[in-house]
Amino acid sequence: YASAENHSRYAKTCDTTSCQVYGGAGLNGSWLEDARTNQAVTATRGQVLTRNSAVVRAEFSSSSGGYTAGGDFPAVRDDGDSISPHHNWTLTLTADQIGRAYAVGTLTDVRVLTRNGLGADGGRVLTVRISGTSGSVTVSGTEFRATFGLKSDWFSFTDATSALRDVSPMTVSAVRTSPGTVIPFVRGTDGSVYYTVGRNGSLGAWRVLPAKTISGPASVSWDGQRIDVFVIGTDRGLWHSYASVNSSGEPAGWSPWENLGGVLTTSPAASSPAPGLLDVTARGSDGRVYHRAWTGARWTPWADLGGVAQSAPSLEVLNGSSSRVRVVGTDGQYWARTLTTNTAPSAGGWSATGWPSSMAAGVSATASWATQSHAVSLTAPDGAVRQYRQDSGQDVRLGGRTTSVVSMVTWTDGSIWTFARGADGALWLNIANAAATRVDWYRIGGQLA
C-alpha cells in the first residue's frame, strides 16, 4: 500500500513527521504546498461532505479515531487520547499574576467568552475577558495561552474559591433607628448599595451609597443614632462605612469606605452587643468562618472561628457580651457557636442545631438596644420562610417565594418586619403581628443583585 501510494512526491503517506506534519506556505523559507492541491481547495470552497444531514468530521490529524491496524496484525482497540500525559493538564495561576499581566488592577474575574464549538467544553478558546478594579481586557485564547505558557488554547478556568458552595449568594439587611424608623439595605444591579427609609408603615424612594461590591450588605445600629454598613468589595476584602442619623432617623452623611481586609467568599454579617461595640463575620477562602470586632477604640485582628460553612454566617446578640454565630453546614442544617465579644472565641466549638434550611439564617436580634424578641428564619427549597420565635416558641409560617437571606426587625408592639428579595428580583416586606394571626407580604420594588 505504501509503495503504491508514494508514487507522487507531493501527496506521500508515511508514518513519520515528514508526511504527517503540514510544512507551511513558505513560512519557513520554502514553499511546501502544491499548485494542484491549492486548485482543488479553491474549486471546492464552500462545500462540505455530509452524512445523515450532519457534516462529516474528516480532518487529517494525529487522532486514530479509536482503532489502529497494521500489516498482518489483527485490529486492536486504541486506548485513545486519554492515556497521553498531555491530554489533560492543569496550571495554577495566581490572581496577582493575571492582574499584573494585563494591568487591570486587582483581579475580580477571568472568564472564557467564546469558543470554536468543536469538541469537549465547547472547543478551543477564541476570546477571554480579564476584569479587575482598574478595568477589563479581552484577548484571544491564543494570546492568553502564549502569555502564561499553557499547553494549548483548549482550556477552562476553575477558581479555587468556586469549589466553596454558598447557599446564600444574595443577602439583604435592615436596621431600626431610635425615632421608629426602619432602613433596609440592598445591593443593586450596578454593585452599589441602595437603601430606603420607612416610617409609619410606608417606605420612600431609593437612595444610593456608591460602592463596588460583590455581596449584599450587612447593617447594624448600635444605639439608634448611628448606622454601620459592611460589604465585600471586588477585592474580596471587607469594607465598612457609617453614618450618624438625624432627628428623623435617616442617615445624615456617609463616611468614606474603610478597608478592613480579608479574603472572603460570602456576604458579611454584623451585630452590636452594646453601644460602641461591633462584631462582623464572613466566610474565608478556606470555608472557615472569620471574625473581627470593634472595641470602641480599634479593630481586632481577624480571628478564625473554624467550621465548614456553606452559607454566609448570621450574628444574633445574646447579651451585652456575647453573640451566637450560625451557618449552614455541609449537611444542610444550621450549626452554631457562641462568640464572646472583643475576645477570643469561646470554648466548645460548633454544634448542630437540627434545623434544616436552604438559605442562611436571618435573625432579628442584631443590636441589643433594638431587640424586642429573638427570632430566626428557616427557608424551604421553594423559598417559603418559617419564622421561629425563640422567646415564645411560636413557629410562624410566613410563606413567600424568597430568593435571598431574610432580614428581620422587631418592634415594641411585638410585631416583626421581614425583608427579602422575591422571585421577581424586587424587595418584599412581610409584616407579622405579635400573635402571628396576621402575616402579609408587600412588594417594595427595586431590582436587587
Q: Tell me: the pLDDT tens digits for 71-89?
A: 565 566 666 666 677 778 8
- Tell me whether residue 90 is in a domain: no
- Bridge partners for 441 per DSSP: 430
Range of the domain at 131: 95-158
* Spatial distance between the Cα atoms of 85 and 91, rounded to a whole number of angstroms: 14
- How many CA atoms are closer than 13 Å to the CA of 215, on its beta-carbon side? 31
Q: Are 260 and 237 in contact (CB under 8 A)?
A: yes
The C-alpha cell 483548549 sits at 154
Q: Find the helix or strand (DSSP H, E) in which 67 lies.
A: strand 67-68
Distance of alpha carbon 22 from its chain centroid, rounded? 45
| Model confidence at 7: pLDDT above 90 | no
pLDDT band of residue 162 (cuts 50, 70, 90) is: very low
Domain shared by 204 and 332, yes or no? yes
- Tell me whether residue 164 is in a domain: no
- The stretch 310-337 carries a mean pLDDT of 92
* Spatial distance between the Cα atoms of 313 and 305, rounded to a whole number of angstroms: 11
pLDDT band of residue 66 (cuts 50, 70, 90) is: low
CATH number at residue 291: 2.120.10.70
- CA angle 9-15-16, nearest 5°? 80
Q: Which residue has the higher pLDDT, 158 or 336?
A: 336
Domain shared by 105 and 204, yes or no? no
pLDDT band of residue 372 (cuts 50, 70, 90) is: confident
If one counts the domains in the chain, the total is 3
Q: What's residue 343's pLDDT?
A: 56
φ, ψ for residue 417, nearest 5 deg? -100, 130
- Bridge partners for 230 per DSSP: 218, 240
Q: Which residue has the higher pLDDT, 23 or 315?
A: 315
What lies within 8 Å, CB to CB, of 214 at 6+ separation is 108, 191, 232, 233, 234, 236
Q: Are 429 and 411 in contact (CB under 8 A)?
A: no
Domain shared by 76 and 100, yes or no? no
pLDDT band of residue 59 (cuts 50, 70, 90) is: low
Q: What's residue 91's pLDDT?
A: 86
- Tell me whether residue 218 is in a domain: yes
Domain shared by 100 and 238, yes or no? no
* Spatial distance between the Cα atoms of 172 and 310, rounded to a whole number of angstroms: 18
- The stretch 404-414 carries a mean pLDDT of 94
- Tell me whether residue 163 is in a domain: no
Q: What's residue 330's pLDDT?
A: 83
| Model confidence at 295: pLDDT above 70 | yes
Domain shared by 140 and 278, yes or no? no
Return the number of other C-beta atoms located less than 10 Å from residue 149's C-beta. Answer: 7
Residue 175 CA: distances (Å) to CA of 32, 217, 222, 344, 366: 75, 12, 10, 27, 9
